[in-house]
C-alpha cells in the first residue's frame, strides 16, 4: 500500500496534488511520500519485533539526505557500499555503530575512513579483502568487526542482473570454503569476527530461496560455533520484492518474511540484521513527467515524454515494468489505446513501455511512473546533458524540494579546460 491516490480526479502524494508540485518545480521530478516510507520501515520492525534486530536501510536504493534522515529518525541503521554512501549516512545523523559496510571492492581509504568514524561491521567478501582490512586496522591499533559474506549457491529466481547468491556470481566467499576462511580470520590481528552475512539477490517474489539460504547459514553458524568462533550476529541482506503492477503480483509480506526468519534462525540466539532497500523505498516514490508530443508512427503511436532513460533506467536496463498512469484521472468509461511510451534520448533503448494501454493524452498532460522510489533517482545520469531531475519529499500537506534541478551553467562549469585550449 502507498500514499499516491486519486482524490477529486487528481493523483495526490499524501495530501498534496501532484499538479501543484509540477507547477512549482516543473517536470520531470521524483516525488516521495514520508508516510509510505515510514509504514514500510515499520513493517520490518514489527516483523522482527520478537528478535534482537536492526533494520539497516540499503542506502544504494535511495540515498537522498532527507530520506536517510527520515528513516534514521525511526531508528534505522544503514547498509552502505561505498565511501560516498558511508559519508551520506553519517551526514544524515546515523552513528557509525549503526552503519554496516558491504561490497566486493572496498578500498584501504574506505576502510580507514569507516574505522576512524565508527562502523558496526564490515561485511567482508574475500580472503584478500580480509587481509587488507586486518592490515589497515592493525596499523590504526584497532580491530575491525566483521562478518564474512557467504555465497550459499542458491538461485534467487530473480532477474539475471540482480541475482547474487549463485556460485558463478562475484559475491561472497563460497560456503564450502567458509570454515577455512573463518579460521584465517580468527588468526588475523586486526580482525574481530562477529557473525555471518548473506544476500542472495534483489526483487525476490518467493520466500523459498531465502529459506534455503538461511537454512544453510543456520548450519554454518552451528559449525562455526563448534569450531570455536563466537558468532552472535547474522546479517541476512535485503532482497524482498515489491509488486510493480497493481494487477497480479503478490510478493510475500514482511510479516511472512519475519515469521520465516524466526522459524529458521530463532533458536540460534543471535542478533538479526536485515538490509532492505526496495521494499522500503520502491513504492514510496513516483516519477512525474509531462507529455511533449504524440507521434503517429508506422502502425504504432508514440507518447514522447520529457523523462528519459537517464532519469529512470530500470526499463532499459532490466526490461522492468513500471505502471504509468495519468495524473488527471481518466474517466472510467474512456477507450484506452496501445502506445509506446518513450523519452527524448537518442537511443531506441529509451523506451519505457511498448504497446501500453493508455487513455488519450495530449501534449502538456502529466503522467506518473509508479514504484520508482528505489533504484530510480540513484541510478540516474546526465546522459544527453539532461540535468538530474529534482527530488521532492511530501509529508502530509507539506512538500519540499530535497534536491533541486541543477542549472545548465552548473553542469557545463564542472568541466575544466586544459591550458592548451
Cβ of residue 417: shortest distance to ligand LLP, in angstroms? 35
Strand pairing category for 324-326 and 191-197: unpaired
Position among 3, 43, 63, 79 found at the interface with ligand LLP (CB under 6 A): 79
CB of 21 to ligand LLP, least distance (A): 24
Q: Considering the complex, what minimum distance in angstroms separates the CB of residue 57 from ligand LLP?
A: 9
Applying CB under 6 A, which of residues 27, 33, 36, 102 lies at the interface with ligand LLP?
Answer: 102
Nearest-approach distance from CB 201 to ligand LLP, in angstroms:
7
From 105-113, 197-205, 289-297, 344-352, span contacting ligand LLP (CB under 6 A): 197-205
Nearest alpha carbon to residue 285 among 160, 157, 389, 358: 389
Strand ranges inside 92-211, DSSP E: 99-101, 121-124, 144-151, 173-174, 191-197
Q: CB-based burial of residue 1 (10 Å sphere; 0-12 exposed, 13-18 middle, 19+ buried)?
A: exposed
Residue 387, C-alpha cell as written in the block = 540535468
| Binding residue for ligand LLP, selected from 61, 64, 151, 221, defined by CB under 6 A | 61
Asked if 34 is part of the footprint of ligand LLP (rule: CB under 6 A), the reply reads: no
CB of 94 to ligand LLP, least distance (A): 16
238 near ligand LLP, rule: CB under 6 A? yes
DSSP secondary structure code for residue 240 in this structure: B
The residue among 38 and 123 lying less far from ligand LLP, judged by its C-beta, is: 123
DSSP code per residue over 326-391: ESBPPPTTSPPEEEEEE-SSSSTT-EEEEEEEE----TT-EEEESS-SSSSGGG---GGGPPPPPE
Task: By CB under 6 A, name the one of 33, 63, 203, 371 that touches ligand LLP.
Answer: 203
Using rule CB under 6 A, residue 237 touches ligand LLP: yes
How far is the CA of 182 from the CAs of 61, 221, 332, in angstroms? 30, 11, 61
Interface characters, 273-292, with ligand LLP (x: CB under 6 A): --xxxxx-------------
166 touches ligand LLP (CB under 6 A): no
Is 235 among the residues that bind ligand LLP (CB under 6 A)?
no
**38 sits near ligand LLP (criterion: CB under 6 A):** no
Segment near ligand LLP (CB under 6 A), from 30-38, 272-280, 289-297, 347-355?
Answer: 272-280
Stretch near ligand LLP under the rule CB under 6 A, chosen from 43-51, 180-188, 236-244, 343-351: 236-244
How many residues lie near ligand LLP (CB under 6 A)? 20
| DSSP count for the chain of H helices, then E strands | 12, 21
Q: Is residue 199 a contact point for ligand LLP (CB under 6 A)?
A: yes
Burial class (CB in 10 A: 0-12, 13-18, 19+), 328: middle
Measured CA to CA, the distance from residue 341 to residue 365 in angstroms comes to: 13
Least distance to ligand LLP from the beta carbon of 120, Å?
14
Q: Is residue 58 near ligand LLP by the rule CB under 6 A?
A: yes
31 catalytically annotated: no
Three cell numbers, residue 195: 557473525
Contacts of 102 (CB under 8 A, 6+ apart): 79, 80, 81, 123, 125, 149, 197, 199, 275
Residues that bind ligand LLP (CB under 6 A): 58, 61, 79, 102, 162, 199, 202-203, 237-239, 275-279, 314, 318, 374-375
Active site positions, annotated: 346
Amino acid at each position: 500500500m502507498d500514499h499516491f491516490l486519486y482524490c477529486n480526479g487528481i493523483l495526490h502524494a499524501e495530501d498534496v496534488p501532484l499538479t501543484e508540485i509540477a507547477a512549482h518545480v516543473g517536470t520531470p521530478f521524483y516525488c516521495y511520500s514520508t508516510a509510505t516510507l515510514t509504514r514500510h520501515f515499520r513493517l520490518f520492525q514489527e516483523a522482527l519485533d520478537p528478535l534482537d534486530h536492526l533494520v539497516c536501510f540499503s542506502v544504494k536504493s535511495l540515498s537522498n539526505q532527507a530520506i536517510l534522515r527520515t528513516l534514521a529518525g525511526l531508528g534505522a541503521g544503514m547498509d552502505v557500499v561505498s565511501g560516498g554512501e558511508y559519508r551520506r549516512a553519517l551526514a544524515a545523523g546515523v552513528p557509525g555503530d549503526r552503519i554496516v559496510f558491504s561490497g566486493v571492492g572496498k578500498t584501504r581509504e574506505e576502510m580507514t575512513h569507516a574505522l576512524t568514524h565508527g562502523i558496526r561491521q564490515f561485511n567482508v567478501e574475500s580472503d584478500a579483502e580480509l587481509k587488507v582490512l586486518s592490515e589497515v586496522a592493525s596499523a590504526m591499533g584497532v580491530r575491525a568487526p566483521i562478518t564474512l559474506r557467504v555465497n550459499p549457491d542458491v538461485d534467487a529466481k530473480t532477474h539475471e542482473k540482480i541475482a547474487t547468491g549463485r556460485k558463478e556470481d562475484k559475491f561472497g566467499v563460497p560456503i564450502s570454503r567458509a570454515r577455512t576462511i573463518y579460521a584465517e580470520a580468527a588468526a588475523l590481528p586486526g580482525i574481530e569476527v562477529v557473525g555471518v552475512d548473506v544476500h542472495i539477490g534483489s526483487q525476490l517474489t518467493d520466500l523459498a530461496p531465502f529459506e534455503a539460504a538461511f537454512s544453510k547459514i543456520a548450519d554454518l553458524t552451528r559449525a562455526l560455533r563448534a569450531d570455536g568462533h563466537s558468532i552472535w550476529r547474522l546479517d541476512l541482506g535485503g532482497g524482498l520484492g515489491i509488486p510493480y503492477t497493481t494487477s497480479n503480483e503478490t510478493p510475500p509480506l514482511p510479516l511472512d518474511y519475519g515469521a520465516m526468519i524466526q522459524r529458521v534462525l530463532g533458536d540460534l540466539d543471535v542478533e538479526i540484521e536485515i538490509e532492505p532497500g526496495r521494499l522500503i523505498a520502491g513504492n514510496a516514490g513516483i516519477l512525474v513527467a509531462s507529455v511533449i508530443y504524440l507521434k503517429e508512427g508506422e502502425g504504432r503511436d508514440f507518447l514522447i515524454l520529457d523523462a528519459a532513460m537517464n532519469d529512470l533506467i530500470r526499463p532499459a536496463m532490466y526490461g522492468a515494468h513500471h505502471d504509468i498512469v495519468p495524473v488527471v484521472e481518466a474517466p472510467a468509461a474512456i477507450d484506452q489505446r496501445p502506445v509506446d511510451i518513450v523519452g527524448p534520448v537518442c537511443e531506441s533503448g529509451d523506451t519505457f513501455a511498448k504497446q501500453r494501454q493508455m487513455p488519450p493524452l495530449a501534449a502538456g498532460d502529466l503522467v506518473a511512473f509508479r514504484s520508482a522510489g528505489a533504484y530510480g533517482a540513484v541510478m540516474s545520469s546526465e546522459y544527453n546533458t539532461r540535468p538530474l531531475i529534482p527530488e521532492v519529499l511530501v509529508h502530509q500537506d507539506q512538500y519540499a524540494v530535497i534536491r533541486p534541478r541543477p542549472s545548465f551553467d552548473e553542469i557545463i562549469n564542472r568541466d575544466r579546460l586544459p591550458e592548451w585550449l
